[in-house]
Amino acid sequence: MILYLHGFRSSPASFKARLLAAELQRLGLAHLWHCPQLPASPRAAVTLATDLACATQPHELTVIGSSLGGYYATWLAEKLGCRAVLLNPAVNAADKLAPHVGEHQQYHSDEPFIFLPEYVDELRELNIQSITRPERYLLLAATGDELLDWREMRDHYPGAHHIIIEGSDHGLSDFAQWMPQVLAFAGVNVSDAANPSTARPLSTGANRGGQ
């Protein structure tokens, strides 16, 4: 199973989710794909994700999380022992989102939602201060992320597989070129998963230097 967790104000209609879904469809693996609309409540979001994830064995599960979804994916990987791919993940999400308490609209619809003050406390409950078994994590961090600091991401996942992308942006608008590596990490047989020349190499061990 590949379980995709979108970011704050995002949805299954995000372009990264659509790219991944289309590629798995092309490969005849659409049955592996799960991408739910996450509720605004972090506690409810991880409950939904856990319910979906428990349908398969941890060694057959990869959670892909973007931004806030990366924060959730980290919690899920630590809870279940599965693989996780983190796309410009939020670190210390409670502090990042505390200023955003209030009413918002989804990026891909006009539907409003309210991010309640108690959701900040729920985020704090999900905080993972340090990861275990770093080999099960793949981090994609863009130095051009306009919302989050890529160095904070890098430092939060020591020993993990790191792809530090020079430039790009928070939404990873160039995600298509990294998608083969993401799918290969998830165990999908993708023949063209070579490292693009604009990336630092995929690394295990020391730190190297959309939603």
* Whether residue 15 has pLDDT greater than 70: yes
153-173 pLDDT per residue, tens: 999 999 999 999 999 999 999
Check residue 113 and give its pLDDT. 86
Check residue 211 and give its pLDDT. 58
Rounded CA-CA distance 78/202 in Å is 22
For the full predicted model, state whether its pTM sits above 0.75.
yes
Listed by start position, the domains of the chain span 2-205
DSSP string, 135-148: GGEEEEEETT-SSS
Q: What is the mean pLDDT of residues 121-127?
A: 98
57-107 pLDDT per residue, tens: 999 999 999 999 999 999 999 999 999 999 999 999 999 999 999 998 887
Q: Are 79 and 72 in contact (CB under 8 A)?
A: no
Check residue 208 and give its pLDDT. 29
Nearest residue to 72 (alpha-carbon basis) of 16, 147, 10: 10
CATH 3.40.50.1820 for the 2-205 domain, yes or no = yes
Rounded CA-CA distance 17/54 in Å is 21
Rounded CA-CA distance 200/149 in Å is 17
- Residue showing tokens 């609309």: 37
Rounded CA-CA distance 105/91 in Å is 23
Residue 54 makes CB contacts below 8 A (sequence gap 6+) with 80
